[in-house]
Structure 1
Amino acid sequence: MKPLIIGLVADPAKPTQIARGFEDLHEKNDDGRHAWDVEVLSEPFTLACEDVDTVLSRLTDQGREHRWDLVVGITELPLRDDDGRYLLIETDPQQRTAVVSLPALGGLHMHKRSKHALRELISGMADPATEGDRRVALPHRSGRWRLLLGMVLANRPWLLVPGLKSALVAALTTGAIATINSTVWLLAGSLDWWRLVLATIASLALVIGWLVIDGELWDRPDDDSAQARERSHLYNTSTLVTLTAGALICYLALYLLNLAWAMFVLDPAVMGGYLKQPLGHGDLFVLAWFVASAATVGGALGSGLESDEAIRAAAYSKREEERRERLAAKRNQTTSAR
């Protein structure tokens, strides 16, 4: 029996990486022959949280063009049905097409979960006896949080650290100088813990706000519809959570490095004698805390934050903008060829 040809159309970046893991995956019949083979096409095929019928229509066109028996789209964008529910899977059994939204898997154990979901989906679509109209929607209450977690983890906030390398260098330089300044010692020792907490929050908020403004990461609705507003709200929330997580990682690294530097170069007894007040090694932790907040503002904002690819990738709206540009370029090429 001739094997079925399964076409996987994957958005660039993470969906394509996952799809590539299926290229060598072959199901076999009882006679040892392949039941289906997989071909992968890396191409943007989704636009925002648009109607899934449009997505399935594009996948159907790809299937006809490449003469695939079954077509499955893999996207990292959220998809919704007409009732406003977020979807994990939507199928069109008549056209033998389906689409999978990776963020709806929740982000944790993504490769394992996606492999299981795709295998089950393709096996069901390939079997005429079990194929049917299959839609997997997320729960109304918990589904949004699951989707948001998947979007944030897909943004990989830890990769913001290399994207902020210039700001981190500037902040470390500022912190190294401030650590040995007697005035900074006096300020750190005079602050209550709640003031230090507020300083931390304020410094992180300034950096995150500057990243959003400088990188133009804030998404605005395309129109005044409820769906467009919901999409922008979801994108902006995922962007802010991603930037907050990345900034916290940088702040913690800055604190630990400042603390290590203070313990290496400073003797609390000597500094206490100079300031004429008792100081101990515990005061170094407070000093490093205060210096981390001050250096985050003075170093990061003073240096000018670069618009690195890792920072732009933290915003779903920016990735969506790139998809639109790719699709527009492809349409122009197609029109020119005709």
Structure 2
Amino acid sequence: MTSKKNKPSSDRYTLGLIAAPDLPKEICDQMAEELPDLLHNYVDDRRQWDVEVVLEPFAGVTEQAESVIQEAQKHRDHHTWNYALCFTDLPIVDGKRLVIADASSDRDIGLISLPSLGAMPMKKRVREAMMQLVNEMHHGSSEEERERQNERIEENQEELEEHENDHSYQVRGRGSRELMGNRLYERFFPIQRTVYKNNEESQHVRFYANLNMRGRTRLLSGMVLANRPWTIFPAFKSVIALAFATGAYSLIFPSFWTLSDTYGFWRFLIVMITAMLTMTVWFIAAHGLWEKESQASSTFLARSYNKATTATIGIAVIHYYLVLFILFIVVSLLFIPASQLTLNLQGTVGVMTYLKISWLACTVATLGGALGAGLEKEETVLKATYGYRQRVRHEQTKPEQQQQSSS
């Protein structure tokens, strides 16, 4: 392994970003252009920095930190990078603690588990975490080097703050001890920094969060973001079309208007929730999205995957329901004359009458027509689940693993 004493003396350093497919790769590509200036400003201004991004499916296959780090070590050696940061969209658990990030100044390898960072604001937190980890690797146990860089940051504070008006330069916790600083979010979901000394010049640093209720909430929100629920909605086109046709047909019947007029708020709410839960369960069951704990390497991770899948599909169903509701409001206002409603309903006919009719029509459509529809892009829904993505990535990494075992 390369020690700090044997590091190249070149004034140009290269940071390699090793990203799992999907969200990690997207984030790395977005940040690659801004990172050289950030590294120069917040890590070491005596160096010029280059950044390279590599796609690595293996980073999204295993939940074991050491396995990911060993794979990253191969890339660092092959590309002759000075440092490597590996990004995974899988949660990593060490005992009863959640691993958020890991950095070794001996190996010059860092690891960030994106879902462990939580959901918002993702890009800022990843940027700050990257600066933190590169600082850990670059300076090792040298407090003198850290202080020198911090003094340089303070001297150029005004200039840096001007740059930070651009979101690309928003970095806090300027290279010290706290992963991502002191936002209210971090106070509610605290991060623990643990140092393992390797020798006088190098150290291994790992950032943890406890797997209590707050830690599990952080993880779940990050996993849902990694699933990117907004990408699922385009697959609902055929579902919305059939559901809309089913609900629109019911709007022509006066008995339907009367039924909606007799419903109270709580009945509407209960029926709506029942319809949305039914739709969510149907999607999970119909497409085999539920991970069986008996077949999983970790019961905790299997349960986390299932919670994230349920929340992801649930968010997509909520969007689906809102779109249908808006469509039914428009149709009911256009095609149901107020005079006809007055003849069939008691009391004054107003906007609330149309809202109640549309609400019931949307719920009926969800319970009825939508459940019988097929998805236009079923694979889009499958990609929004951890289990499916892992199976795909396992298939992608098989040839490489077989080649390594035969050589």
Asked whether the 8 Å contact 2:20–2:60 carries over to 1, the reply is: no
* Equivalent in the alignment of 2:72: 59
1:181 has 2:253 as partner: yes
* Equivalent in the alignment of 2:113: 101
Q: CA deviation at 1:89?
A: 0.7
Q: CA deviation at 1:80?
A: 1.4
Q: Can you list the C-alpha shifts for 1:241-299, whole angstroms capped at 9, x where unaligned?
A: 111111111112211210121112212332332x3644512221111111000111222
Taking the aligned partners of 2:40 and 2:85, their CA distance within structure 1 comes to 19
1:158 has 2:227 as partner: no
* 1:83-122 equivalent positions in 2, closer than 5 A: 83-122=95-134
* Equivalent in the alignment of 1:12: 21
* 1:179-328 equivalent positions in 2, closer than 5 A: 179-221=251-293, 223=295, 228-273=298-343, 275=344, 277-278=346-347, 280-281=349-350, 282-328=352-398
Taking the aligned partners of 1:124 and 1:277, their CA distance within structure 2 comes to 72
Q: CA deviation at 1:304?
A: 2.4
Taking the aligned partners of 1:188 and 1:304, their CA distance within structure 2 comes to 29
- Of the structure 1 ranges 10-19 and 38-47, higher mean CA displacement relative to structure 2 is found in 38-47
Q: CA deviation at 1:15?
A: 0.8
- Of the structure 1 ranges 231-240 and 50-59, higher mean CA displacement relative to structure 2 is found in 50-59
Taking the aligned partners of 2:109 and 2:128, their CA distance within structure 1 comes to 18
Secondary structure at the aligned position of 1:218 is classed as coil
Asked whether the 8 Å contact 2:103–2:133 carries over to 1, the reply is: no
Aligned-pair identity (%): 29
Taking the aligned partners of 2:326 and 2:84, their CA distance within structure 1 comes to 50
Taking the aligned partners of 1:97 and 1:222, their CA distance within structure 2 comes to 34
Amino acid of the structure 1 residue aligned with 2:223: M
- Of the structure 1 ranges 230-239 and 193-202, higher mean CA displacement relative to structure 2 is found in 193-202
Match of 1:136 among 190, 207, 211: 207
Summarize the Cα distance change of 1:75–1:47 in structure 2 as closer, same or farther, 3 Å threshold. closer
Match of 2:90 among 77, 84, 87: 77
Q: CA deviation at 1:231?
A: 0.4
Asked whether the 8 Å contact 1:158–1:246 carries over to 2, the reply is: yes
Asked whether the 8 Å contact 2:296–2:302 carries over to 1, the reply is: no
In angstroms, what is the RMSD of aligned CA positions? Answer: 2.5
Structure 2: which 5+ runs fail to align? 1-8, 144-201
Secondary structure at the aligned position of 1:284 is classed as helix
Amino acid of the structure 1 residue aligned with 2:211: H
Asked whether the 8 Å contact 1:89–1:137 carries over to 2, the reply is: yes
Count of aligned pairs? 333
Taking the aligned partners of 1:222 and 1:237, their CA distance within structure 2 comes to 16
Asked whether the 8 Å contact 2:329–2:354 carries over to 1, the reply is: yes
Secondary structure at the aligned position of 1:77 is classed as coil
Amino acid of the structure 1 residue aligned with 2:113: S
Q: CA deviation at 1:145?
A: 0.7
* Equivalent in the alignment of 2:3: none
Asked whether the 8 Å contact 2:58–2:394 carries over to 1, the reply is: no
Q: CA deviation at 1:222?
A: 5.8
Taking the aligned partners of 1:334 and 1:32, their CA distance within structure 2 comes to 39
Q: CA deviation at 1:31?
A: 11
Summarize the Cα distance change of 1:149–1:224 in structure 2 as closer, same or farther, 3 Å threshold. closer
TM-score normalized by the length of structure 1: 0.89
Secondary structure at the aligned position of 2:49 is classed as strand
Taking the aligned partners of 2:114 and 2:238, their CA distance within structure 1 comes to 33
TM-score normalized by the length of structure 2: 0.75
Amino acid of the structure 2 residue aligned with 1:44: P
Match of 1:172 among 244, 263, 270: 244
Asked whether the 8 Å contact 1:50–1:80 carries over to 2, the reply is: yes
Asked whether the 8 Å contact 1:104–1:150 carries over to 2, the reply is: yes
Q: Can you list the C-alpha shifts for 1:104-125, whole angstroms capped at 9, x where unaligned?
A: 2212121111111102211331
Summarize the Cα distance change of 1:209–1:321 in structure 2 as closer, same or farther, 3 Å threshold. same
Asked whether the 8 Å contact 1:268–1:279 carries over to 2, the reply is: no
